[in-house]
Amino acid sequence: MKKNALIILLAIFALSCNSEDYNLEMVDIESVLITKDNLFGNGGEGIIEQNLEITSQSMWNNLISQMNSVNNVSDNFSEIDIDFSQYKVIAIFDKIKNNGGHSLELNLTGNSENIIVNINYISPKGNVMSVITQPYHIVKIPNSNLPIIFE
């Protein structure tokens, strides 16, 4: 009988642990696409595979200058002027690839503790161009103090 009572108490305790602290609801994070493409500078831009959180105009200007160092890619950005008091920029750069057709897709979700950037690496199917590329994806999101986790 004591064993059954202990099992019932443990079950009640386990069910009560499903409070808001342990069951954080994930919601989509609104993002605005700035650009999604490939660098074609054969690595000359000097940008390594990385995930960036850009929070200031100087960081943004430095990234644009580096991206434009071989080809003027910023001409294709949907916007250049970002209000960093309202937004931050998320920039994802893949490693340099030996052929074309590679791209990145982002899915941004969050809860009361984190913003999660899920990165999907898309590989080409079938015949592809023999050209050195480096996929990138850049978005802006509303400013927040929540930590960003890249997955």
Cβ atoms of 136 and 93 within 8 Å: the answer is yes
Per DSSP, the three-state class of 129 is: coil
Domain count, the chain: 1
Does the pTM surpass 0.85? The reply is no
Look at residue 138 and tell me if it is in a domain. yes
Q: For the segment 43-68, what is each residue's pLDDT rounded down to a tens digit?
A: 999 999 999 999 999 999 999 999 99
pLDDT of residue 57: 97
Domain-embedded: residue 48: yes
pLDDT score, position 127: 79
* Token pair listed for 90: 């998320």
Tokens 């052929």 sit on residue = 99
Domain that holds residue 113: 24-150
